[in-house]
Amino acid sequence: MKHKIILTTLFLALIMSAIFLFSQQEVVLTIREGVPAISLALPPFIYDSSSPQAKQAAETIYQVLSADLRYSRVFQLVPREHMNYIRPLNPKEIFFKDWESIQTRILLVGEISQSQDKVIFEVKVYDVKSERMILGKRYQVEPDLFRLVAHRIADEMMKLYGEKPFFTSKIVFVSNRDGNDELYMMDYDGANQTRLTFNKWRDYMPAWSPDQRAIVFTSYRAGNPDLYLLYPYEGKLVPVSTGGTNFAGAFSPDGKKLAFCSTKDGNAEIYVANADGTNVRRITFNSAIDTAPSWSPTGREIAFTSDRTGTPQIYIMDAEGGNVRKVSFGGDYLDSPAWSPDGERIAFVSRVNNFFDLYILNLKTNQITKLTETNARNESPSWSPDGRHLIFSSNMSGTIQIYSIDYDGTNLRCLTSQGENKLPNWTN
């Protein structure tokens, strides 16, 4: 198994190191939800028509970047047909008035050339009204990594407007596509699905560390449901908590601590330990089942599930275990709290009439919004790093697959299709 993890490690390390970029200038502007999306024109990229690689790069990067920007909810692409009414793009002389006439606020242009076996991609971003370049990047990339280039450009666009980038982030999940429940990871959009663990035992409930270097998960590989840390880029596996049943691991926002549930003392309680598994401390003490810890973005509080009042409900406590208060009311089964990156909302699962749906609790207003309504089993919500999207597992298509949805219930997309896929976690 170790050799297979190391092979995966080398492959992933090559991906992360294959791109070299050089920044020219950056301007940071902050936008907020509720503000109209920024109108962005993305004309087709200019490329050397004599180079098949340059043509492939232009098509792939353009397609992926377009999809990223549409998904962002920050940018709104100017329709391609509107560009038919203005002069063709000339990168050496931008006619800004033309672009302004079709309601363009931001113009993103790209040029692709080939140098030996590598593709050179230059991207420039202009503020149309002020007629100035606000971002310039140059990428040198291997042919297999065109998608990654596109995601990196989309991340740069998010940072340009004061938003948290997430297009190069990863989702870890569990799949039985190869005959056994193992850990896999994929890009945010479902591409590049890669197997991470190789063994005959079941692996469950993975969760990323904030720096995306480690994954905490539950595994039966030693014959007992124990908690482990997997370092996928280093090929290292470390046991964290053994004895009893250990599950629902979650890293603190600074990556220094782990919260998890264990029955090592005879009852399902919540524990906190250092990120390497040392200094384990129990922080809940009662005869009820306490589970599913989720850290607040500040790291000062933990949301969790408890049936201490008779049915599973959502509670919040201080990170040391004090000041416990119930934040959900109604429903006979609430579980899987997931704290949003802005700290203002908690997504959770509620069972009504034997259907499991996702809900969002606004902690400021105590208002609860139903996110899904599919007459299916929708579970395991996890937020995107920017807080505008969630992923979850559902059997709405007949088999359990992983879906993404926007925080307001729109833009439902299926990300997996092979085997059954569940328990997704999106790194924050």
Question: Which is more confident, 170 or 428?
Answer: 170
How confident is the model at residue 144, as a pLDDT? Answer: 86
Query: Mean pLDDT, the chain, as a whole number?
Result: 90
**Residue 326: band (very low, low, confident or very high) from pLDDT cuts 50, 70, 90:** very high
- Scored b (16 or more CB within 10 A) or e, 187-197 reads bbbbeebeebb
Angle 2-425-251 (CA atoms, 0-180°, nearest 5)? 80
Rounded to two decimals, the pTM is 0.89
Tell me what pLDDT residue 4 has: 40
Query: For residue 214, what are the contacts with CB-CB under 8 A and spacing of at least 6?
Result: 208, 229, 230, 231, 251, 275
**What is the model's pLDDT at position 34?**
54
The pLDDT assigned to 13 comes to 38
Q: Is residue 35 very low, low, confident or very high in pLDDT (cuts 50, 70, 90)? A: low
The string of pLDDT tens digits covering residues 231-264 is: 999 989 999 999 899 999 999 999 999 999 999 9
Q: What is the mean pLDDT of residues 65-83?
A: 96
The pLDDT score that the predictor gives to residue 159 is 96
Whole-number Å distance between alpha carbons of 308 and 324: 11
* Domains of the chain, start order: 8-160 (3.40.50.10070), 171-426 (2.120.10.30)
Q: Can you give the chain as a three-state secondary structure string? A: CHHHHHHHHHHHHHHHHCCEEEECCCCCCCCCCCCCCEEEECCCCEECCCCHHHHHHHHHHHHHHHHHHHHCCCEEECCHHHHHHCCCCCCCCCCHHHHHHCCCCEEEEEEEEEECCEEEEEEEEEECCCCEEEEEEEEEECHHHHHHHHHHHHHHHHHHCCCCCCCCCEEEEEECCCCCCEEEEEECCCCCCEECCCCCCCEEEEEECCCCCCEEEEECCCCCCEEEEEECCCCEEEEEECCCCEEEEEECCCCCEEEEEECCCCCCEEEEEECCCCCCEECCCCCCCEEEEEECCCCCEEEEEECCCCCCEEEEEECCCCCCEECCCCCCCEEEEEECCCCCEEEEEEEECCEEEEEEEECCCCCEEECCCCCCEEEEEEECCCCCEEEEEECCCCCCEEEEEECCCCCCEECCCCCCEEEEEECC
- pLDDT of 425 strictly over 50: yes
pLDDT in tens, 219-231: 999 899 999 999 9
For residue range 338-365, what is the model confidence (pLDDT) as tens digits? Answer: 999 999 999 999 998 888 999 999 999 9
Which amino acid is it at 255?
Answer: G
| pLDDT at position 3 | 38
pLDDT of residue 33: 54
The predicted pLDDT at position 383 comes to 98
| Share above pLDDT 90 across residues of the chain, in percent, rounded to a whole number | 79
